[in-house]
Amino acid sequence: MLVDRQDINPFHPCSKKSSMNVKGLDFFFNPASVAIVGASPAQGKISNIIIQSLKASGFPGAIYPVNPKYPVVEGMECYPSIAAINEDIDIAVFAVPAASTPDALKHAGSRVKGAIIVGGGFSEMGQEGGRLQEEIKAIVRERSIRVIGPNCMGIYDAVSRLDTFFLPLERIKRPAKGVLSIISQSGSFAVTAMDELATEGIGIARVVSYGNKADVNETDCLRFLAGDGQTGAVAIYIESIDNGAGFIEAARECALKKPVIALKVGRYGAGASAARSHTGAIAGRYEAYRAAFRKAGVVELDGYEDFVNGCKAFGSLRPASGNRAVIITDGGGIGVDLADTCQAIGLKVPQLDGALKRELESIFPPFFIASNPVDLTGSATDKLYAEALEKTLSTDSFDIAIVVALWGPPGLTDGFAAAIASTASSIGKPVVVCAPGGAWSREKNRLFMKYGLPVFPTPGGAARAAAILSKAKGRHGQS
Amino acid sequence: MGRADAERIVRARLKSGGHTLTEPEAKGLLRSYSIPVPRSRVVKDAIGAVEAAEAIGYPVVLKVVSPDILHKTEAGGVATGISDSRELKERLSRMLLKLADERPTANIEGFLVEETALKGVEVIAGVVRDEQFGPLVMFGTGGVAVELMRDVSFRLAPMTKDEALGMICEVKGFPLLTGFRGDTPKDLDALAETIIRLSEIALEIGEIKEIEINPLIVHENGAVAVDARAVLR
């Protein structure tokens, strides 16, 4: 039996080691069919939300509700079992109680390529749950099936339009198709970031929430995303890593091709207990993670806010080729504060060279300050902003620009964002927008989002985004 | 010299039921990986100590050798700047009395008589084995205050020369090594080489849980491991 399956699928995972095969995961991101095991017509049930999300997202493949209790779910024929479906299934989503999951999985095992087990009640819930998870692992080893989860949200994929994130669409906004992919041990973390990104108009390629990782883990996902043409950058949320060497190798391979940014949480756990050397007393687990990120060329993130900053940056922009920032502002105070923040976190804010300074002074009215920050004052207009950006960022002196957009001056119109965006795209270097302010400003900031420029409401956020963009430099090509 | 020697030292200690290498054993490990250590000899008593000191040349340092005493200075087990045989004998007997007070149950295997190290910049280099990522290498400045100052950097083994130089440049105290306040610039190359060799010991000898050189004294030419400790699994 096992031998037959391996003949059919040469990438079959017959051991934990071979389960790291990239090709083994492709079908999760390009499924022709999805079965929902435990499908229910009851509104608000996990299985019901998934079916509704799949219909709403326009998932182009076949959807098979499975539940012996119902003939029809959400207007679709509901099958009593996977065996009753006359086709092979790419993905079966299991939304059944933990205790019945192993049997359901065994049942489906010969007919499906992969399973997403969204339910909880496994290793995160003590001994009995741990035993159920071991059963799932055994099934993975015995049969040619890959498993995402349990205790996860599965996949939100703006490319294949698969959506197993079982939270109602009106509560959690789904992002449009973009270039950033997210992999996350925590479902709620990924989904919250995703909701924020969607609200800010930042697109997503794939999001994988793999939960307890009975089979598929961060290393498998990284291997897939490294070779995924739809993914331009990868953000990772990590609680723990199973195989340090495998992770470093996969992350390094991925980071050579595209920016990889990562947040590790749970930093302050006990260090090496009873350490007898100074080294042992100082080195906690987090130092090892930091060193691993560094070795792999992964940019380290600092907390949820930073994760979202990094996702916004790489969801919209390419890496900066260096860390020299020019700041263009219409308010002196915010500009200087931003310059301080930038320098505190390792960005350079170099002065304009003499020739450039003289050129700006000859173009601009005398009360503009041709320095870095370039201060256009309250007399700023769309055109002056665009000119200042063009003159400074297009020189070899700068790698990235931060445009401080304070919407108070009446010279700024609805054409402001378009003017900045088109200048930025003609120069071909990243431009980050820092736009603090109240109701009017927040409303107008949507214009920047519309033109694909990431907007940050605080100097700290904008500076961090610029720093993250500059840290991934030089490791990969521009495609 | 090399891995086989290091393994022999580690196995012998494990066989005796111990999990901490004495200073001469830890230095034996370093020597087997070509990390320079001061000239020294392990002796049993005052007569042996005087013989050793004459061979090495005064002034010498005297240190207790005991698998039960990891922090020798605190226990009164270190005497420095000993200039002749009379002083050596006197300080050795004083050390014995002090140890009898401080660590009455410690098994004293002997004494280390060692040449006095030349002055230089004192740094620390250590490795701890991370259960997930393997040997995690630390470099830092601050000598005995390293745990207070935390002016340290980390890398994972195996390391390249660039990684070793990178972790040296990263600490705040780096200018101490490049000629701070009129001092001479120190041998960064030898320092990087020492860190890499230390990481290789941890990579190749799986029984090592922690290994540390403190202080590692960096000179204009070369770097010398003046004290070392190692903990086994």
Tens-place pLDDT, residues B41-87: 999 999 999 999 999 999 999 999 999 988 898 899 999 999 999 99
What is the domain class of B121-232 according to CATH?
alpha beta
Query: What mean pLDDT comes out for the span B139-144?
Result: 85
What pLDDT sits at residue A107?
Answer: 85
- Ordered by start, the domain boundaries in chain B are 39-116, 121-232
Q: Identify residue A291 by its one-letter amino acid code.
A: A
User: Chain A residues with CB inside 8 Å of B231's CB?
Assistant: 276-277, 280
**Between A216 and A8, residue with greater pLDDT:** A216
Q: Cβ separation of A282 and B152 shorter than 8 Å?
A: yes
Q: What pLDDT, in 10s, does the model give residues A294-313?
A: 999 999 999 999 999 999 99
Domain limits, chain A: 2-316, 325-471
Say which residues have a Cβ less than 8 Å from residue B197's Cβ, sequence separation at least 6. B30, B33, B34, B35
In CATH, B39-116 is 3.30.1490.20: yes
At A137, the pLDDT band (50, 70, 90 cuts) reads very high
Q: Where are the beta strands (DSSP E) in A322-476?
A: 325-329, 374-375, 400-404, 431-434, 455-456
CB contact under 8 A, B156 and A288: yes
pLDDT digits (tens, 9 = 90+) for B144-159: 788 888 999 999 999 9
Topology agreement, domain A2-316 and domain A325-471: yes
Cβ neighbors of A215 (< 8 A, separation 6 or more) are: A13, A19, A136, A137, A140, A146, A147, A148
How are beta strands B121-130 and B134-141 bridged, if at all? antiparallel
Residue A449 in tokens: 């989002």
ipTM attached to this prediction: 0.91
At residue A257, what are phi and psi to the nearest 5 degrees? -100, -30
Between strands B78-82 and B60-65, the pairing is antiparallel
Interface of A with B in 274-293 (CB under 8 A): 275-283, 285, 287-292
Cross-chain Cβ contact A280/B155 below 8 Å: no
Q: Identify the bridge partners of residue A156 per DSSP, sorted by sequence position.
A: A163, A207
Query: How far B233 CA lies from chain A's nearest CA (Å)?
Result: 12
State whether B130 and A290 contact (CB < 8 Å): no
Q: How far apart are the first and last CA of chain B?
A: 23
Integer angstrom CA distances of residue B168 from A290, B134, B151, B159, B187: 16, 20, 11, 13, 11
pLDDT over threshold 80, residue A448: yes
Polymer length in residues for chain A: 479
Other C-beta atoms closer than 10 Å to the C-beta of A3 total: 8
Q: Domain A325-471 class?
A: alpha beta
Q: Would you say the CATH fold of B121-232 matches that of B39-116?
A: no
CATH number of A2-316: 3.40.50.261
- Out of A277, A285, A292, the one facing B126 most closely (by C-beta) is A277
User: CB burial class (10 A; 0-12, 13-18, 19+) of residue A43?
Assistant: exposed
* Alpha helix ranges (H) inside A354-395: 354-363, 382-393
